[in-house]
Amino acid sequence: MEKTKKFLLPESELPTHWYNIMAEMPTKPMPMIHPGTRQSITAEDLYPLFAKGLVDQEMNRTDAWIEIPEEVREKYKIYRPTPLVRAYNLEKALDTPAHIYFKNESVSPVGSHKLNSALAQAYYCKEAGVTNVTTETGAGQWGTAMAFASKVFGLDLAVYMVKISYEQKPYRRSLMQTWGAQVVPSPSMSTKAGRKIITERPNYQGSLGTAISEAIELAMSTPNCKYTLGSVLNHVSLHQTVIGLEAEKQMEMAGEYPDVIIACFGGGSNFSGITFPFLRHNFKDGKKTRFVSAEPSSCPKLTRGVFQYDFGDEAGYTPLIPMFTLGHNFAPAHIHAGGLRYHGAGTIVSQLMKDNFLEAVDINQLDSFKAGVLFAQTEGIVPAPESAHAVAATINEALKAKEEGVKKTILFNLSGHGLVDMSSYDQYLAGDLVNYSLTDNDIAENIAQLEKIL
Amino acid sequence: MEKTKKFLLPESELPTHWYNIMAEMPTKPMPMIHPGTRQSITAEDLYPLFAKGLVDQEMNRTDAWIEIPEEVREKYKIYRPTPLVRAYNLEKALDTPAHIYFKNESVSPVGSHKLNSALAQAYYCKEAGVTNVTTETGAGQWGTAMAFASKVFGLDLAVYMVKISYEQKPYRRSLMQTWGAQVVPSPSMSTKAGRKIITERPNYQGSLGTAISEAIELAMSTPNCKYTLGSVLNHVSLHQTVIGLEAEKQMEMAGEYPDVIIACFGGGSNFSGITFPFLRHNFKDGKKTRFVSAEPSSCPKLTRGVFQYDFGDEAGYTPLIPMFTLGHNFAPAHIHAGGLRYHGAGTIVSQLMKDNFLEAVDINQLDSFKAGVLFAQTEGIVPAPESAHAVAATINEALKAKEEGVKKTILFNLSGHGLVDMSSYDQYLAGDLVNYSLTDNDIAENIAQLEKIL
């Protein structure tokens, strides 16, 4: 009998609501705190920076289901529902009894899951009468998503792109420009924050922290302008739950339920997206699915960080956020999975981790690319360097199942493809990449600096 | 009521047979001719170069339906059936009464339709006991497809990649290497043909003609080795008919039948793929669909070439092929749609063109990129520079429908995405690209040289 490889949902099965896990968490996340007043952050504190609809979602701890506006659903149809795929060819290569499924978010026109939140954010900005938006991008996945989403909803977007990426990742820059965004290498002369840094360090190659500062400054000083962010925040995780909600229906079509769900971990957006809808069945229906985040060994916030109030950005401009962190001034090695180089985990994920609902593993750079190449050679798709961490963790689980001789159903999120990151595969194949290790001391010293914060 | 944007077929609806149009053509194509003996080419002439199964398909003029081997169907499931998409956002931007549909072949892991034939060719090579295969690639779409297909069926592949592309398109090279192929810049020192050229012209940047010669030479001098080709030949068109066969069912789901079908045109593989299954209803069922090929103004074989016996390659090593041609030594301008820079059209398409079943339009380079950007900004997907020609021709048809105030159903083939070609969009957006025009004299002079051939 012929085997089904891809489980496809018709557009009529596109989720009508996002799942807001905050409403159902056994322990709610602690609030963000204003670093000056030491008071809990309120919606009013956030309205100047973000569109109202997004702030209200950020603060909503009571409604488990939040309706997806019809205009957003219409735009989701450009690429959603995305396929759930049984990785038969990978299973065969590993000779494992495990059944491996992946949710293929790489089919979005921007090549990653980031568009799920970008479309929602652009919509709520448009709805609030906003005409201009700003954001920052490091590796470029979020920037490209926001560029297309802004075009779709008729907004003018300015993206501050970390200067070294601007130069090393010209394809991402071209993509943003093709979709009509203005892309500025950061640090730039267009903001006070940028000018200050350029004056002090003329050859500085930029950082996400600096780019955030510039994007925020531009948003605050431009009429009718809001700032947008691609991960970490609650409303971003909320939008990403379309991934898991679709996957839930698709696993049912496949006649299986996942024993383990795996996703790579940067700030937490794709991880939240695929896990939260399943996690609710652990909360309520006695399911015992394991949820495993795969982070890079060089940026191990969940496996080796501490749970602490910390700033969300390097410069310390954001509210204080309760999170697993390596310290906001932690400088991760320059691995190619640029989207995973963030010092902390979002509030919700951090609380769930603290409460033992989640697990975390770390993957070193060479193992991530080795896994990426095997996946490309078996399933065809070249994974983004970030997503290759999830592939590596999946392979480890599948090999463990083989060792133990147990059948196991594994689901992982293929958050994006690597077609615009081929230079990193090039360097891997040429033997030019290395692993980065951190001593306990490196981490402890950086975390020690946090004690004075709160 | 919510509108359906994507029409998806389940895997069970994947075609079981390819459609062999030669069996049903009112006038069969003339045979290929051996340039030495002046005799018609026979299967025996081709067996040394191509796998037997492929040669038999190449010569088959009687069976309208040829079964797709189960192993090929299984591998097709990695990305097939591909979506048929209603381009509502493009329609809206054009304010046209036309309904625009596109078949999205860009979802293949290699990013184009080329995999449809690569998987079939690798399968028949494997089945024939072949262990090694060779091919050439210009822009790189065919080479990447053959690289993945060879890995899937356990064959060792050597790709001769035109040297200037090898250097200017490093992402395509990396992709082929990631899938395990050996990629050699052509001309190379690995063949007599390559050494001869390097000796005469040390700085020669290569051409498809030279790369073909090298790939053929390597195949003929390596034990258990066959050569493969990504377009022009009958068996390649045959494999590509899965595109149109799926589209036929999907148009039925959409409740419409195309008045016009459009595809870009290089050697004819994606054009054949989407048109032949519909063309049979013009032959047999009284349908009056128009079939329009979109070729670059700088390489206008169908709009301005002649129907003539000509060589398939620049050097004149292949059999003589009855084709619309600009002359085998025609040197097209260096447009970015590298896949459309071929001097001739395949035998079947040429005969159909001669018999007035097909139309052809030419699109200049700037219009192709302008159309590509509009498509990216409305439908999200950045088209390959080749496919952007089909988009441009579609836009022209849609605007004509608007002008004439008639409803019209247009279907075009999005043969591939442009994510690995962003440098060409970069140059377009920077204003660095130009159009290339050919005088009637340029063309006539080149064609005049053909008269001595046959």
Nearest to A419 among B4, B10, B419 (CB): B419
Residue range A215-233: mean pLDDT, rounded: 95
pLDDT of residue B454: 64
- Please report, for residues B16, B31, B34, B118, B186, the alpha-carbon distance to residue B58 in angstroms, rounded to integers and kept in the order given: 19, 11, 16, 15, 28
- Which residues, in sequence order, are bridge partners of residue A133? A157, A226
Render pLDDT for B311-352 as a digit per residue (tens, 0 to 9): 988 778 789 999 999 998 888 888 888 889 889 999 999 999
pLDDT surpasses 80 at A173 = yes
The CATH number that applies at residue A315 is 3.40.50.1100
* B221 at A interface, C-beta within 8 A: no
Q: What is the pLDDT at residue A389?
A: 98
Q: How many domains does chain A divide into? A: 1
Q: How confident is the model at residue A209 (pLDDT cuts 50, 70, 90)?
A: confident
Q: How far is A216 from chain B (nearest CA, A)?
A: 26
The mean of the pLDDT values for chain A is 95
Q: Which of B423, B451, B436 is nearest to B168 (CA)?
A: B423
Which among B8, B151, B171 is the nearest to A422, CB-wise? B171
Backbone Cα Rg of chain B:
21
> What mean pLDDT is reported for chain B?
95
Note the pLDDT tens digit of each residue in B400-440.
999 999 999 999 999 999 999 999 999 999 999 999 989 99
Mark out the alpha helices in B332-407 (DSSP H runs): 347-354, 365-379, 385-404
| CA A96 to chain CA mean position, Å | 29
- What the block records as the tokens of B294 is 């979109």
Burial degree of B396 (CB within 10 A; 0-12, 13-18, 19+): middle
A318 domain residue, yes or no: yes
pLDDT digits (tens, 9 = 90+) for B69-107: 999 999 999 999 999 999 999 999 999 999 999 999 999
* B-chain residues near A174 (CB < 8 A): 422-423, 425-426, 429
- Where b means 16+ CB within 10 Å and e means fewer, B206-242 reads bbbbbbbbbbbbbbeebeebbbbbbbbbbbbbbbbbb
Nearest to B352 by CA among B293, B299, B409: B293
Query: What pLDDT score does A318 carry?
Result: 87
Please tell me the predicted confidence (pLDDT) of residue B449: 82
Nearest to B5 among A11, A109, A111 (CB): A11
How does pLDDT run across B355-401, given as a tens digit for each residue? 999 999 999 999 999 999 999 999 999 999 999 999 999 999 999 99
- Distance from the Cα of A401 to chain B's closest Cα (Å) equals 25
pLDDT exceeds 60 at position A1: no
pLDDT of B159 > 70? The answer is yes
| Confidence check: pLDDT of B1 > 70 | no
**Cα A175 from Cα A356, distance rounded (Å):** 40
Whether residues A78 and B379 touch (CB distance < 8 A) is answered with yes
Q: Do A148 and B110 touch (CB under 8 A)?
A: no
pLDDT for the residue numbered A114: 98
Domain residue limits at B374: 68-111+235-448
Taking the C-alpha atoms of residue B323 and residue B268, their distance in angstroms, rounded to an integer, is 11
Length of chain A: 454
Residues in chain B: 454
What is the distance in angstroms between the Cα of B419 and the nearest Cα belonging to chain A?
7
* Cβ-defined contact of B377 to A151 (cutoff 8 Å): yes
Residues of chain A found within 8 Å of residue B382, distances taken between Cβ atoms: 109, 175, 178
Which alpha helices (DSSP H) does A128-156 contain, by range?
Answer: 141-152
Position with higher pLDDT, B132 vs A213? B132
**pLDDT tens-digit map of A108-119:** 999 999 999 999
Q: Which conformational region is residue A307 in: left (phi greater than 0), alpha (psi within -120 to 50 degrees), or beta?
A: beta
Residue B14 lies in a domain: no
pLDDT of residue B288: 98
A307 lies in a domain?
A: yes
8 Å CB contact between A332 and A351: no
Of A5, A171, A177, the CB nearest to B78: A5
pLDDT confidence bin for A454, thresholds 50/70/90:
low
- pLDDT of A317 reads 78
Average pLDDT for residues B292-309, to the nearest whole number?
96
CA A139 from chain centre, in angstroms, equals: 12
Whether residue A369 is contained in a domain is answered as yes
Say if A395 falls within a structural domain: yes
Q: Is B422 on the interface with A (CB under 8 A)?
A: yes
User: Residues of B numbered 87-106 whose beta carbons fall under 8 angstroms of chain A's beta carbons: which are they?
Assistant: 89
Distances (CA, A) of B334 to A403, B173, B213: 55, 19, 21
Q: Which residues contact A232 (CB under 8 A, 6 or more apart)?
A: A267, A268, A269, A312, A321, A342, A344, A345, A346
ipTM of the complex: 0.94
Alpha-carbon distances of A345 from A136, A295, B180, rounded to whole Å? 18, 11, 37
Domain membership flag for residue B372 = yes
- Using an 8 Å Cβ cutoff, are A385 and A57 in contact? no
Query: How far apart, in whole angstroms, are the C-alpha atoms of residue A206 and residue B271?
Result: 47
Q: Which residue of B has its CA nearest to A382?
A: B109
- pLDDT tens digits, A327-386: 988 888 888 888 898 899 999 999 999 999 999 999 999 999 999 999 999 999 999 999
pLDDT by residue (tens digit) across B4-63?
Answer: 999 999 999 999 999 999 999 999 999 999 988 999 999 999 999 999 999 999 999 999
Q: Which of residues 5-24 of B touch A (CB under 8 A)?
A: 5-6, 8, 10-12
B171 touches chain A (CB under 8 A): yes
Q: Say which residues have a Cβ less than 8 Å from residue B315's Cβ, sequence separation at least 6.
A: B193, B209, B210, B212, B213
What mean pLDDT comes out for the span B223-249? 97
Question: Which residues of B are less than 8 Å from A171 in CB distance?
Answer: 171, 419-420, 422-423
CA distances from B22 to B310, B348, B351 (A): 20, 7, 10
Give the percent of chain A with pLDDT over 70: 99
Is B375 in CB contact (< 8 Å) with chain A?
Answer: no
DSSP strand pairing (A260-264 vs A409-414): parallel
**A/B interface, count of CB pairs below 8 Å:** 132
CA B407, distance to chain mean position in Å, is 30
Band (pLDDT 50/70/90 cuts) for residue B309 is: very high
Cα separations in angstroms, A165 against A150, A183, A264, A370, B298: 21, 12, 21, 23, 36
Find the helix or strand (DSSP H, E) in which A368 lies: helix A365-379
Residues 316-345 of A with CB under 8 A from B: none
> What was the pLDDT predicted at B28?
97
Residues A14-41 have pLDDT tens digits of: 999 999 999 999 999 999 999 889 999 9
Q: In this predicted structure, which of A53-67, A250-264, A361-375, A435-449 has the lowest mean pLDDT?
A: A435-449
**Chain A residues within an 8 Å CB radius of B426:** 170, 173-174, 177
Residues of A in contact with B4 (CB under 8 A): 10-12
What letter would DSSP give residue A416? Answer: B
Number of H helices, E strands in chain B: 18, 15
